[in-house]
Homo-oligomer: A and B are copies of this chain.
Amino acid sequence: MDRLDRKLLNLLQRNAARTNADLADEVGLSPSSCLRRIRKLRRSGIIDRTVAILNAAKTERRLKALVTVELELHGEHHMRRFLDLAVAEEAVSQAYAVTGEVDVFLTLRLRDMEEFDALCDRLFRDQTNVARFNTMMVIRTGKDDTAIRL
């Protein structure tokens, strides 16, 4: 893991569609060396996968909502159960167990508020062990990076 590997990773996190020769040129390596490095980074698992990122605005799921959830019962078992429930939802794109005043944090991708309503029914009411939840709708996006700076 030297300077060149880091440089490659930074570049690939911004654009993984570039040709190998192009990348090689930018980092100052031959195409073959460059490719071998990238392959090693893949095999080692540092590069988990490469994916297409959609422009959410041109999608039906335009709305982004952030939800904090406080559980009624806090045992490991109950936490796991709620997370499983959340993960199974198509609208849920991130689900974390967190420290602090709340227990779980969710990011939602929503078509409209009706979908949100239906989701609330499934996740936050009845027998789902939720004491309280608080929703923030995203008004403006300042930044939305998938990259991890090395």
Which of A's residues lie within 8 Å of B, judged by CB?
A: 9, 12-17, 44-56, 58-61, 64, 66, 68, 83-84, 86-87, 90-102, 105, 109, 134-150
Contact A90 B149 (CB under 8 A): yes
From the candidates B46, B135, B145, B149, name the one contacting A100 in the complex (CB within 8 A).
B135
| Known contacts A92-B143, A93-B148, A97-B140, A55 near B64 by CB under 8 Å | no
Interface contact B51-A146, CB-CB below 8 Å: yes
On whether the beta carbons of A94 and B145 are closer than 8 Å, the reply is: yes
The CA of A95 and the CA of B142, in the complex, are separated in Å by 5
Q: Name the B residues within 8 Å of A95 (CB-CB).
A: 141-144
Residues of B contacting A148 with CB < 8 Å? 54, 56, 59, 61, 93, 109
Docked Cα-Cα span, A83 to B48, in Å, equals 30
Q: A142-B86, A146-B53, A150-B60 are in contact. Are A137 and B98 (CB under 8 A)?
A: yes
In the bound complex, residues from chain B placing their C-beta under 8 Å from that of A140 are 83, 96-97
A94 — which chain B residues lie within 8 A by C-beta? 141, 143-145
Find out whether the CB atom of A53 lies under 8 angstroms from the CB atom of B45.
no
Given contacts A61-B149, A138-B97, contact A50 B53 (CB under 8 A): yes
Q: Residue on B with the closest CB to A90?
A: B149
Q: Which residues of B contact A52 (CB under 8 A)?
A: 9, 12-13, 16, 47, 49-50
